[in-house]
Structure 1
Amino acid sequence: MITSQALRQEPDQPLSCFVVGPIGDPHAAHGGPEREAFEHHLAVFEEVIAPACEKYGISAVRADGIAHAGDINEQICRHVVESDLVVADVSGGNPNVMYELGLRHITGKPTIHIGEAGQLPFDIASIRTIRYQRTRSQLAAARKEIESALAAGLRDGFELLTPARVLRGLQSGDGPASTGEDGGRGEDEDSPGLLDDFAVIEDGLDEMTADMDAITKTIETIAELTERSGNEMGELTQANAPASARLAAVARYAETLNVPAGELNTVVSGFAERMATMDSGVRAALGLIETTPHDERGEGAEEFLDQLMSLEEVMQEGLTQIAVFGASVTSMSRVSRHLRKPVKEISSAVRQMTSVMTKMGEWATKARVLAQPATE
């Protein structure tokens, strides 16, 4: 079975846990950001991670606690790769932490993610992360969650994350359909194969396409309301109507705009969450396709690439609408305070949508390259 990884303890030798995370500078001036970071993450280590590990006889250490002399970078890499367990604090997406975490993921060894609420990096949002806040009660709750994760992992094994599962599949030499000496599958019967992964991702892509249709329709509704309001304001201006009459017209427009603006922000937020959940899986699938010979990919892989490229076409249409729409929204809030609430909702949607579409463009660009016939 390769769907989970167990902690195996040697007799008379405690299990080891290496803690990956920001450390800060203990020698920085008091009150400075580096010193505050040091104090905060030291507290997380001493009050949350170390006690949780100690409960199960696991010895936890940070990089600044490595006692042996030598090249610190080499020592860190060794601890990341060789430790029985890694607990990674991903708060803020520190580049060194993300590098070390990626190195750990490839090993397939047990890894627990924790992170401060509101500071979790987008790239690994699909991986379960124990969240905490900087209060004593929240830190205590996080410690209990780590204890529960350790108890479950020690009992049942830790689930392999996507990079490790993909690598295991490649190392087997035969992909998801490999067989053992007994003629049976080399994997556990319940573990997903490549086509299973593609099917799950494709379902998500279908849902994202539906989200795009809903977003487009909502934008069209807002555009119609805006055009109608513009015509009314033009008529009032031509009639030399007083400012109070024009203000009343703007207030009516704002009231009708509130509902679709709120709906737009809600749909886009769901779209962005779906995107964050799928991003690592899509990228892993693309990576696996890239390492598979073109004539061995199978129909599922080609359909998957086609779907990513088709989604880009829908995305480009939406991106054009969003760009034009976003440019006009900014000036609307200056007209009247009544418009500030719907404009805030719309602006939030525009920002999220632009960020999401950038990621989708990266998917499609990679898919387009992989879809090209292999050259001699």
Structure 2
Amino acid sequence: MPEATLLRIFDSQTSASGTPLMNKLGSPTTMKAFVIGPIGDKDADDGSPARLAYEEGIQVFEEVIAPACIAFGLEAVRADMISQTGEIPEQIFRQLRDCPVVIADLTGANPNVMYELGLRHTTGRVTIQLGEKGRLPFDVAAIRTIMFKRTEAGIVQARKDLAKSLAANLDTGGDPVTATRIWFEASLPDLKVTNLESGKAADTASDEDAPGFLELLAEMETGMQSLTQTIVAAGSIVQDISVVCTEATASVRQATARGNGAATARLAVAELTAAKLNEQAARMEVVSGEFARTVDRVEPGIQYLLTRLSEEPDQLVATPDFPVQLKNLCDAAHSSIESSDAMRKNLIEIGKASRSLKRSCDRLALSFQRFSETSRRIADWSKLLDKLAPVSTNAEPTGP
């Protein structure tokens, strides 16, 4: 590929990615993932157990947990990263109780970590366990745990496995462990439910109630939050690709300025760029796949709710924010279609520079195509939304 064309493509990619995928949604608050695990002591003597525990814990945090969380718009936080003043145990307990996601590094079976994990399990909320092979407590063997080897390949695989686990559990909330289910069951009174139409006791085992309007509404709002989060995550990937392309542009220009051996230097830049884009391709494959799966899950409920609201407009009084939230999501989907399509076309062009670039760019282009197709499905919800009473454009967007 001629040098001018390569520079033009990289430059156009940098400018094209300047439009955020979620510019219609505002800036939602970042969800946190609280990380429990060995903290150690960074000020301890080199080679000491406390220093080794710190180094191993921070490696898992920086190379496995934080990158996987970033892909889903989550901010990973350890106890030693909390800057707020106050008592440390109280802050930890509040995070364990309130954070939507807790990730536990069980390497070494630290007693404090096991205690904190037990407290977290009583909440029934998303809790993901990981740890180094051979250094896990046998007590958690029955609970699904991501096990890894502390090698370069093992760390990469752990990051991928954690990303998959986040993708599978963020929307569903995960399944509570057996101890949690038993704990909750013990607190439930033994009630006889009466069928309001017949006046007879209903058999809850065989006559399960269908979800009502409010249950459907709550599920859809949760789904929209997940979709918004995924759009934000895709926007982050776009920005990271922009950085990669900007760096590649600067490197190509430097190689050209040196003169002799410029072609070889440009090929080296292409190889390095391909490796960096491969990292973004792995992130985008997870995000685009989860985006499509979430839409598959919530779309029937969205369509039902919109149809019911159009038939019973009085229900809008009880849920005035829902149409506004959905309109924001549809607008964001429209914007993401344009950005995704432009990104896909640019990546195809960039891939013409070398074989390695083609492989990484093809992976990315396929994911952006999938993301665009899913966004079109969301954008089509606006057709049903138009059948409702007009959504006030002066309403303050609340975001899903």
- When normalised by structure 2's length, the TM-score is 0.45
Structure (1/2) with the larger helix percentage? 1
**Which one has the largest radius of gyration?**
1
- When normalised by structure 1's length, the TM-score is 0.47
- Higher RCO (C-alpha 8 Å, min separation 6): 2
